[in-house]
Copies of this chain bind each other. A is one copy, B any other.
Amino acid sequence: MSEIFKQIPLYRFISYCDDTGLDKTVLDCGAGGDCPPLSLFSEYGYLTQGIEFSTSQLEEAEKYAKKKNQNLNIEQGDMRKLKFADETFSFVYSYNSVFHMKKEEVLKSVNEMKRVLKKDGLFFVNFLTVKDFRCGQGGNLGDNQYEQLDDNMPVIHSYYEEEEADVYFKDMKILFKETRVVERIFEGIPIRQGFVDYIAVKR
């Protein structure tokens, strides 16, 4: 039996994708890191494609895929401007990633992901909420956008009210929305995280 991936909500997304009966083509925007979830899609028979902005995260993913002998097709790219044609993929997702930019850029990214998604295809995306313990910390850029430090590197985090991101799906149908507050121990310290996850279908 294979490992359990830490991106738990994507198990549900795969289940929704499987149920559509569409061609198993999937794009991950923000696909890098040392545990790339496209590997899970690959195990479930999906043809995968990923883009990743950070070259170091890209290298981590390549190392992982090589070790598992998988070809995940992850390359350097920017989700604000995808190189793919309209309606290329049955499924598109971005997990714990799109909120690392200002909201005006989040909007661009969401629109790009919707553009490359086929009609009747499914879109998963999630956002940080204002209930997250880090909302309010760091350099205030207004509208719950903050410049913060991740591993001593400056990173923007955009935080959303629980209904705020609904507007991104006005031209879609939301099949599943989960608003979550997680309390857990991270590196010995109790933290509280706030997320809102969406699964929507393109009309």
Interface residues of chain A, those whose CB is within 8 Å of chain B, are 1, 4, 6, 8-9, 11-12, 14-15, 18, 43-45, 174-185
Alpha-carbon distance between A188 and B182 when the two chains are bound, in angstroms: 29
Number of copies: 2
Please indicate the chain B residues that have their CB under 8 angstroms from the CB of A175 in the complex: 184-185
A-B contact pairs, 25 of them (CB 8 A): A1-B43, A1-B44, A1-B45, A4-B11, A4-B14, A4-B15, A4-B18, A4-B44, A8-B8, A8-B12, A174-B183, A175-B184, A175-B185, A176-B182, A176-B185, A177-B183, A177-B184, A178-B180, A178-B181, A178-B182, A178-B183, A179-B180, A179-B181, A180-B180, A180-B181
Q: How far is the CB of A183 from chain B (nearest CB, A)?
A: 4
- Does the CB pair B6–A15 fall under 8 Å? yes
Complex: A3 Cα to B174 Cα, angstroms: 24
**Which residues of B are found within 8 Å of A176, using beta-carbon distances?**
182-185
CB neighbours of A184 from chain B (8 A): 175-177
- Write the chain B residue with the least CB distance to A196: B181
Q: Which residues of the other chain, B, contact A11 by a CB distance below 8 angstroms?
A: 4, 8, 11
CB closest chain-B residue, reference A12? B8
| Chain B residue with the shortest CB-CB distance to A44 | B1
